[in-house]
Amino acid sequence: MLPSEKDANFCTPIASRRVKTERAARHIGLATATLETDRATGKLGIPFYKIGRAVIYDLDELDAWLAARRHTAEVVA
């Protein structure tokens, strides 16, 4: 028997990569308020989707956003 979409444990691979603000904030190590502020200002450019009143973040897009901001220390010898 296949799980139905009404089953609480059913999750497609695509749907499991889409999360709400609280989970997205934990994933990238920021406060939920930071994500909420960025949605209004766009200052950090954190990618998100808005469907009606729902706000959704894609974990793959958050990983890419975070990786683009990676820095390493430059050692001057």
Residue 76 lies in a domain: no
3-state secondary structure of 50: strand
pLDDT at 49: 97
Residue 77 lies in a domain: no
Residues in the chain: 77
* Locus of tokens 């430059």: 74
Give 21-63 pLDDT, tens digit per residue.
Answer: 999 999 999 999 999 999 999 999 999 999 999 999 999 999 9
Residue 60 lies in a domain: yes
Residue 4 lies in a domain: no
Residue 73 lies in a domain: no
CATH number of the domain that residue 42 is part of: 1.10.10
pLDDT at 15: 67
pTM comes to 0.74
- Tell me the C-alpha to C-alpha distance, in Å, between residue 28 and each of 66, 67, 73: 7, 10, 21
Query: With contact defined as beta carbons under 8 Å apart, do 27 and 62 qualify?
Result: yes
How many structural domains is the chain composed of? 1
Report whether pLDDT(5) > 80: no
Distance of CA 70 to the CA centre of its chain: 17
Residue 35 lies in a domain: yes
Which of the two residues, 72 and 68, has the higher pLDDT score? Answer: 68
Which residue segment(s) compose the domain that 53 sits in? 13-67
* Locus of tokens 């209004």: 40
